[in-house]
Amino acid sequence: MLGFFAAEGVLPVCGHGTVAVLVLLAVRAGGSGQRAVLCTASRSFVGWAVRNRESVTASFESGPVGLCVARPPGLRAVAAALGLAGGGVVGDACVASNGRPRLLLPVRSRAALAGFSPDFALLRGACGRYGLLGWYACSIPDRRGRAAARMFAWSIGVPGDIADAGSAACPVAQMARFGTDRLTVGMGDLLGSPSTIAAAIDSMHREHPVRVGGQAAPARTAVRQA
């Protein structure tokens, strides 16, 4: 059973936390590969891990992603809270959920992401007012399916996330309607801790069609003395 605890709340799902758990299980088990069934308070799902020489590549079923149209009042609140310049947002913003709802905001470029000047007090207030985990802003992918993203989850006390595998499932689920079946998302550069998350549509599993993951290695092991 997995539980994910943030600074100001308990999460029903945590993507990068799940990757970390799969990496730890793979290291403990040894061998070259492992399949595990993981359970949270809300669901059970499958994860995979493959050991490399110095790291582990882990992925898991993100669960179904619900998408609905974002309403104008929420979008105006986001624009004010993030300091968005006119023309920075492109495409259709929507509310996406695979555990908790977040606003999925497509932006024109990586430069537009870097240009955010968020007002965290406004972000916190808007999260509560519209019942959102936060805002996930993702740039338009290039021809190789690479994009950049930033996540502001002030509802749980996270002003900026360096890696968010759960949210990466949302844009690939949205873009699947237009023929895109995979996405590689870069995060954390502006916070000094770059990360890369891969998300893909698995057409063989219609119940849990989105699979996300990344590569990681244990940094240190903490041992609690009895």
Residues 6+ apart with CB under 8 A from 71: none
- Confidence (pLDDT) at 9: 65
**SS3 assignment, position 99:** coil
Task: Count CB-CB contacts under 10 A for residue 51.
Answer: 18
Residue whose C-alpha is closest to residue 215's, from 12, 57, 21, 33: 57
Q: pLDDT tens digits for the chain (226 residues)? A: 787 776 666 777 788 889 989 998 888 888 788 899 998 877 888 999 998 888 899 999 988 889 998 888 877 787 778 776 555 676 678 999 988 899 998 888 888 888 888 888 888 888 888 888 888 999 989 989 999 999 988 777 777 788 888 899 999 988 887 778 899 999 988 888 899 999 998 776 665 578 999 988 777 665 555 5
- Confidence (pLDDT) at 207: 59
Instruction: Give me the domains of the chain, ranges plus CATH numbers.
Output: 4-61 (no CATH), 66-202 (3.10.310.10)
Residue whose C-alpha is closest to residue 61's, from 93, 22, 3, 104: 22
